[in-house]
Amino acid sequence: MRINILFLSLLDFNSLEEHNIYTDLLRIFRKNGDSLYIVSPVERRKKQSTRLIKSENTSILKLRCGNIQKTNLIEKGISTLTVEQIVKNGIKKYFFDVKFDLVLYTTPPITFAGVISYIKKRDGAKSYLLLKDIFPQNAVDIGMMSKSGPKGLLYRYFRRKEKKLYALSDFIGCMSQANVDFVLRHNPELSPEKVHVSPNSMELRSFEAGEREAIREKYGIPQSVTAFIYGGNLGKPQGISHLVACLRAMKDRKDVFFAVCGTGTHFSLLKEFAEQEQPANLLLLNGLPKEEYEAFVKAFDVGLIFLDHRFTIPNFPSRLLSYMQAKMPVIACTDPNTDIGRVIEAGGFGWWCESNDPARFTACVDKALAAPLAELGEKGYEYLKENYTVEQSYRIIMERLS
């Protein structure tokens, strides 16, 4: 049966041919003949007007909204509060004549409850939440919000929004079992039958080794050392101060090389460290175009994941999938509440340590230096094929709807 799907997220994209965990999944729905109606806001900083992009079975509504990501807390809060009405108005204007069978949405944000309630009442649609972010608790964990004092008012407001979103959702797909357990433990009113594991996933693509030596020469990476890469967001959730401490602990080593490639609010911490201490075994890049990054990553042996040690919520960064796709083993340096480290070690394709002591990270690096990295990378790729493909995600969702 072909269905009409409304997809809501904050991800800014213009075509389903782009590659990320959401577009990869949506292409499976399109392949099966479903019609997709996507709301993909574009932040004010990009200076673009609202527009509708149409292609095969797909309509992407680019709604102009405030700045939500990679901005200060006040602007983020105001923009998060206002985006719901912007989205609702946009659906009424551009998709008024479409009867939706399924509304599929992600967190962040948690403020789409009004939109989902409207579509469910108007069309009798089923609702499915892809839970990628547990807010506002994550903001409390890293000191951006408080449960008491003036900030407590904001916390309680967003906590009510969170509970309303969960209640409206017919199904809640979580990234891992630790996420399922957390959601049910802190929201006992939810039926366990509606909360289940629906992990991050991706479309498998061929990944050739490429010109490893040429790439290393281009970026000044020594040919003979084991090279580690961190690619992705560089903000408060990633615990960048601890990443700096780990790099400082390794800066005199000649048998390893580190590259950090990303953007975010805490990039300046890394830049200051690099400029002041000038470690010879570090390459710091303020992001790369997607295609260039995909070539760049082929020069490395081990992928790195960092999370702030204060987290009580079990984050599960999707960055893991790109490392597995590249057939690299992984070192995860995180809080003890996420189960990403347990998954990596149980799968036999990497190592985990707590993100509170650089010596623990150093120990993981030394384990990597003594390991058969190519063999572990193959194990990671096989684990990816067995557990994290978009075909599997599609089946998980459709089984709940049938």
CATH number, residue 380: 3.40.50.2000
Residues 62 and 108 in one domain: yes
Of 64-78, 191-205, 325-339, 370-384, the least confident:
64-78
Long-range residue pairs from 9-14, CB within 8 A, at least 24 positions apart, any chain: 9/39, 9/40, 9/105, 9/106, 10/41, 10/68, 10/69, 10/83, 10/106, 10/108, 10/109, 11/40, 11/106, 12/40, 12/41, 12/42, 12/43, 12/46, 13/40, 13/60, 14/40, 14/53, 14/60, 14/62
Instruction: Tell me the mean pLDDT in the region 44-71.
Output: 81
- pLDDT at 207 > cutoff 70: no
Position 108 confidence tier, pLDDT thresholds 50, 70, 90: confident
Residues 266 and 364 in one domain: yes
Q: Which residue has the higher pLDDT, 82 or 227?
A: 227
Instruction: Tell me the mean pLDDT in the region 374-384.
Output: 97
Within-domain flag for 126: yes
Position 49 confidence tier, pLDDT thresholds 50, 70, 90: confident
pLDDT given for residue 370 in this prediction: 97
CB-neighbour burial class of residue 149 (10 A; exposed 0-12, middle 13-18, buried 19+): exposed
Residues 172 and 270 in one domain: no
Residues 341 and 250 in one domain: yes
Within-domain flag for 216: yes
pLDDT given for residue 210 in this prediction: 64
Residues 189 and 231 in one domain: no
Domain hosting residue 27, numbered range:
4-198
Q: Count CB neighbours of 220 within 10 A.
A: 8
Within-domain flag for 190: yes
- pLDDT at 358 > cutoff 80: yes
Within-domain flag for 394: no
> 279-305 pLDDT, tens per residue?
999 999 998 888 888 889 889 999 999
Position 393 confidence tier, pLDDT thresholds 50, 70, 90: very high
Residues 224 and 192 in one domain: no
Query: What is the percentage of the chain residues whose pLDDT exceeds 90?
Result: 75
pLDDT given for residue 242 in this prediction: 97
Within-domain flag for 204: no
Within-domain flag for 207: no
Residues 267 and 170 in one domain: no
Q: Is pTM, for the whole model, over 0.85? A: yes
pLDDT given for residue 378 in this prediction: 96
Q: Which of 198, 232, 254 is the last residue of a domain?
A: 198
> 213-231 pLDDT, tens per residue?
889 999 999 999 999 999 9
Within-domain flag for 252: yes
Beta carbons of 106 and 23 less than 8 angstroms apart: no
- pLDDT at 107 > cutoff 70: yes
Residues 125 and 245 in one domain: no
pLDDT given for residue 245 in this prediction: 97
Strand pairing of 4-8 and 102-107? Answer: parallel
Measure the CA–CA gap between 282 and 276, rounded to whole angstroms: 13
Number of folded domains that form the chain: 2
Instruction: Tell me the mean pLDDT in the region 265-287.
Output: 95
- pLDDT at 176 > cutoff 90: yes
Residues 152 and 288 in one domain: no
CA dist 182 to 187, 315, 360, Å? 8, 11, 26
Within-domain flag for 203: no
Of 70-74, 236-240, 339-343, the least confident:
70-74
pLDDT given for residue 208 in this prediction: 66
Give the chain's mean pLDDT: 92
Residues 223 and 310 in one domain: yes
Q: What angle do CA 350, 141, 192 make, to 5 degrees?
A: 75
* Residue type (1 letter), 112: F
Measure the CA–CA gap between 384 and 386, rounded to whole angstroms: 5
Residues 19 and 165 in one domain: yes
Residues 140 and 111 in one domain: yes
The conformational region for residue 296 under phi > 0 = left, psi -120 to 50 = alpha, else beta, is alpha
Beta carbons of 289 and 266 less than 8 angstroms apart: no
